[in-house]
Amino acid sequence: MENNNYEKQHIRSMTTFSYLTLAFLFSFIFTSICILILLVPMVGILDFTYFPSKVAIPSFIISMIFSVLAFRNIFGKILILINLCLMVFMIVYGP
């Protein structure tokens, strides 16, 4: 019985770890695209005709989904906050 509970806890921690890993991956993609957008003038985050915006918006959404799935962990909460602040910064202060 005790072994079964340990296995369930381990599976929960592994799923949380995989959600966080995928969230960090897509967050890194989103951050690198935001840096690229800041370096290239005349391209904004909400300009859907340009390729960087077409990559940045879905990676932001996917990162937010995986962060919400890992919301019980403190890193999931921090990642949600960082992604939201970066998106607001890019909308307000981006080119």
pLDDT tens figures, 21-34: 999 999 999 999 98
Mean pLDDT of the chain: 88
Distance set, CA 56 to CA 37, 38, 49 (Å): 9, 12, 12
pLDDT surpassing 60 at residue 1: no
Rounded to 10°, the helix 51-69/74-93 angle is 150
* pLDDT average, residue stretch 45-70: 88
Count of beta carbons in the 10 Å neighbourhood of residue 15: 12
pTM, full prediction: 0.85
